[in-house]
């Protein structure tokens, strides 16, 4: 049964739409920024929650979880800069931190490493070759290295973002691009002959990411058939 309007004394039978709303509620539980107006409920897109280490270990959450996101959610309305690498790939995404869950945030033994979220950290690698910041070229800002926690990721264009697409994007940033950044800073296999910054930037293209996506998808098909239905993110 469900309550009608704001009067708890009046009820009606639940519908499948109501059931969908219940699921959405629990997927976004703990995020006080999620609006509850009727307009918000009508205008939603699919985003991805990247779970931090504590949420995975304490609650058994999957690393990449599909969530319904209202179009008036702060991730869209606040002045958030798209992640640099994703923008160069032609798939700019916005990222916003969730509040840490009280079930583990005050437990020092858990929170010490529980906030770790490498996927979110590597999404924020600095792509400005002229950056003079202490966390400049090839580094993520300190706010994305410390106390990250779980995060919400959405596409700038408002199209749906699937967990698979988000997973490949994060993997590309961490395991394809981060080693190239290191190489350009003289920490690669040949420190005497580092890769140029221009050469690193030239790897961040739609063509290269499509190739990476195709290879990544093929490597997982045998163990996870769900990838067979995952098309290129550029076709979403």
Per-residue pLDDT reduced to its tens digit, 136-181: 999 999 999 999 999 999 999 999 999 999 999 999 999 999 999 9
Letter string b/e over residues 156-168, b meaning 16 or more CB atoms within 10 A of that residue's CB: eeeebbbbbbbbb
Looking up tokens 């698979």 gives 164
d(CA 27, CA 65): 9
Residue 3 resides in a domain: no
Cα–Cα distance for residue pair 151/170, rounded to 1 Å: 13
Residue 35 burial (CB count, 10 A) = 14
Residues present in the chain in total: 236
> Bridge partners of 90?
none
Residue 16, SS3?
helix
pTM over 0.85: no
Q: Residue 4: what pLDDT?
A: 34
Determine contact, residues 122/173, Cβ cutoff 8 Å. Answer: yes
Strand boundaries in 2-84, DSSP class E:
2-4, 7-12, 44-50, 64-70
Asked which of 52-66, 122-136, 141-155 is least confident by mean pLDDT, the reply is: 122-136
Of 89, 81, 93, 213, which Cα lies nearest the Cα of 157? 93
Contact call for residues 184 and 197 (beta carbons, < 8 A): yes
Averaged pLDDT of the chain:
86
Residue 221 forms part of a structural domain: yes
- Phi first, then psi, for residue 56 (nearest 5°) are -70, -45
In whole angstroms, what is the distance from residue 232 CA to residue 236 CA? 7
Range of the domain at 144: 11-235
Residue 2's pLDDT is 42
Segment of 38-52, 104-118, 188-202 carrying the highest mean pLDDT? 104-118
> Mean per-residue pLDDT for 89-104?
97
Residue 92's closest CA among 199, 215, 206? Answer: 206
Mean pLDDT of 182-192: 84
Q: How many domains does the chain have?
A: 1
Is the pLDDT reported for residue 97 higher than 50? yes
Measured CA to CA, the distance from residue 144 to residue 151 in angstroms comes to 11
3-class SS at 26?
helix
């Amino acid at each position: 049964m469900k309550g009608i309007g704001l009067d708890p004394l009046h009820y009606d039978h639940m519908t499948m739409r109501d059931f969908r709303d219940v699921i959405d509620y629990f997927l976004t539980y703990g995020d006080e920024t999620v609006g509850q107006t009727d307009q918000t409920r009508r205008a939603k897109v699919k985003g991805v929650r990247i779970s931090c280490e504590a949420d995975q270990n304490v609650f058994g959450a999957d690393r990449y979880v599909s969530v319904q996101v209202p179009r008036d959610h702060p991730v869209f309305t606040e002045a958030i800069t798209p992640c640099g690498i994703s923008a160069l790939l032609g798939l700019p995404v916005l990222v916003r931190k969730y509040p840490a869950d009280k079930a583990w945030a005050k437990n020092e033994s858990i929170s010490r490493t529980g906030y770790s979220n490498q996927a979110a950290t590597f999404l924020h690698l600095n792509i400005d070759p002229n950056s003079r910041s202490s966390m400049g070229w090839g580094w993520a800002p300190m706010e994305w290295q410390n106390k990250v926690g779980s995060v919400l990721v959405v596409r700038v264009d408002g199209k749906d973002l699937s967990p698979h697409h988000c997973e490949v994007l994060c993997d590309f940033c961490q395991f394809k691009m981060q080693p190239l950044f290191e190489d350009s800073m003289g920490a690669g296999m040949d420190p005497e002959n580092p890769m140029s910054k221009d050469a690193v930037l030239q790897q961040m293209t739609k063509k290269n990411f499509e190739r990476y996506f195709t290879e990544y998808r093929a490597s997982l098909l045998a163990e996870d058939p769900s990838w067979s239905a995952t098309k290129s993110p550029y076709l979403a």
